[in-house]
Amino acid sequence: MNVDFTYYCYRCGTKNDRNLPSPTAPEFYEGELKCSNCGDGTRVILSHCPNCSRYVYWICDISIPNLVTGFAKYMVHNMQTMIDKAAMQGATISIDTPESYPISAKCPCGASFSVNIPIPDLD
């Protein structure tokens, strides 16, 4: 499903209209928006409410999925160091990691749901 999405540039104030994909939660669309006037870019995450015809969105200057992946890589590296040190002392450590990072949302219709950003299997 696509939605007509209007936003105003944070830098120059120009109104920008886009037609963007909006999959039903927990799926999401992430993309970069570029201002038609000044070219300033920002990122958006869109998802459709599973209970009504509305959508929710988050606007941010960073890529949230890339941030989640970067943090996951950092944590796996640190956990592996801890596991290796424990193994040298004869201990066994098992750490389960989640498959996705949920971002909670509440639709104006009252429905609560989450958008699930996948966490890659890095071990």
Other C-beta atoms within 10 Å of 25: how many? Answer: 22
Please report, as a single letter, which amino acid is at residue 2: N
Q: Give the burial class of 33: count Cβ atoms within 10 A of its Cβ; 0-12 exposed, 13-18 middle, 19 or more buried.
A: middle
pLDDT of residue 69: 76
pLDDT tens sequence across 25-39: 999 999 999 999 999
Farthest CA pair distance, the chain: 62
Convert the pLDDT of each residue in 86-118 to its tens digit: 888 888 776 677 788 899 999 999 999 999 988
- 3-class secondary structure per residue, 43-72: EEEEEECCCCCCEEEEEECCCHHHHHHHHH
Q: Return the DSSP state at 24.
A: B
pLDDT tier for residue 122 given thresholds of 50, 70 and 90: low
pLDDT of residue 114: 94
Instruction: Dump pLDDT digits (tens) for 36-92.
Output: 999 999 899 999 999 999 999 988 777 777 777 787 777 777 777 878 888 888 887
Predicted local confidence at residue 61, as pLDDT: 74
* pLDDT score recorded for residue 112: 95
Instruction: Give dist(CA 40, CA 10) in Å, integer.
Output: 8
d(CA 92, CA 58): 41
Domains in the chain: boundaries: 2-118
- Give the pLDDT mean for 14-23: 96
